[in-house]
Structure 1
């Protein structure tokens, strides 16, 4: 059969990138060929994200422009749109992008090869937004990963059962399903055999792994199984993302004694105000969160803590915002991703009163980002003069860089290294928000 080349583009989070790797694997297993030239591909697949309105609109605009540009040079590939935005907008997305022949949600993406054959046969547009998962467990396996990178994404859960009031993810992915232990261990074994040096365990909330199996501390059991089976392997293991209500001190204790686990915790706080946290339905208080931060700092002094923060949530007062600034000062984050609240239809927060003007949201975001930047600059200075281990994961021209286990990146002025190499460096200086070092021998 001809016309079997495909190109895939992903929007959004690491989970989406991993799902694109899975779909690429499924396509190849069905006789299709992945190519990197979008202008030559017979099929274009777009994996979409619905978390924020601005990003969603930008993705729609990009897809529309891509179709238009290709049509202008007499290229008419089959357009497949799938993922969270498809599940969220359903037929509204199909109507906004009439050039798409196949538009499906999140649950039946493995049917894409089948839908392509159906479209070739009857030439009709195909839509499928059924959210009912085909299995009560997360049984996705097989990923076509890039050989040019040293890390591998490995999803251990899919879906979310938390229903934070601002978030569409539970509505676009369905309830959390966990991947069986044995499947994860086999996948890790293959990743190591394939030569990757870092594994990033993924989930909307990795800490609640196994709850759908009836396991109270399933994530700890999984980490222990990984450690026991692969101890001594040349691999670093990270995980994203943790939820503060399910993050436990026992997870921190395990990581302290593991030779595989890195010392970075991404722990989204979202707000420093208890009133706003309650309105967000986050399930924890600022004191609980700060208690976790203090325990991590005490148990693993070299650890890095990252977070996500939303400003301008409906009803957020100046006092609420100041609470967030105070929490940021107490927590001293190594990394933070900040966002203006984005209203999403169908969520509980969309129905709340007192939505703030955009100008006020932008003002608060600017203040928050400056506060975080000041903290970051001061924390970088504390590394100067220290010897640390990094794994080289980027080589560009005559320079290279790598990350410590706490996720802090250090830049080097020469590239006489190879990807995945673990070296000891002496941190020499901090310049414009970056650390620079030089190779030393331990």
Structure 2
């Protein structure tokens, strides 16, 4: 932090939360949240992992971290700091406050012994200089359900669907979610309290749509899938043109998955399905009759930062054998800089310091992007972000770092 600033950067105190959160809300436009939202984030805030910058008795900077477990390739659940609620008051920009908070935060994460930090960026350009790289992407779509049809697998008709109040089936839905978390990198294990986020439904977020609705899928009396959604009615002279707005959908098998998507396609008085946040390899794309009428769009989601390079690379597995020496640059966390030998396969990995000649040269930001298997090291090399120093090393590492399924963050934080 600049020495000429009379500011105090320290851990938040519980009694300061309201002013701290008001500073955050103002930085994001100042529109008040509903009491329901505010109470939820108050309860989820980890006070001892939250930072505040004070100028006298005024809060001028905020940053927090959640204690997450993140699925990585191979299915392991790895400790990760979920960086959140970051803001600097407009009156105090360009004074080093954000850098000071990022410095303190990453030092803290290292002290906690967590190998990863992750965030969703309001402005992606901000966080690359602190070593974060975009590691997952979300696919959204607006599907013309009047013209697009689904081809569903045999057995879809055997799945029973029923409406249910979201709160009444929350436990059953969370059990389904918990079963799918290990199957896809980037997913977060929801610890107690986070299930409430799935029911958050302030009227200000509906934009004329219905309250949150829920349909569960059952087989032999067991809940094997669910979807939560809203319906936004609309009428034109030619007839009903309502929208189905998908909030989330999880299923334990292809037949249940198809049954839930078919249900969303067939809701009366609607002609469009807005999918929201979905994996880029989401299977509905392979069920539809006409992908061109689905208006696909992709945007960045989870940004990943390796806080401890060795521990992070050892925590995941590799879909093909890899034995490569990385020359890593990391100006913001210099303890990561230098050469690391990664040896691993589908069973496990080791990553240790070495003096051997480097095979690939890159920054910690590129390692973050490639870490969950959704961004190719070869693609980064084509952009000049990774340099191959040993012929063949790039292809070996790029294949090894890949993932059978695209990484995906199902909800923000």
Q: Fold match, TM over 0.5?
A: no
Specify the TM-score bucket, using the shorter chain as the normaliser.
Answer: 0.3 to 0.5
Structure with greater contact order relative to length (CA < 8 Å, sep ≥ 6): 2
Q: Which structure shows the bigger proportion of residues in helix conformation?
A: 1
Q: Which structure shows the bigger proportion of residues in strand conformation?
A: 2
Q: What is the TM-score of this pair, normalised by structure 2?
A: 0.32
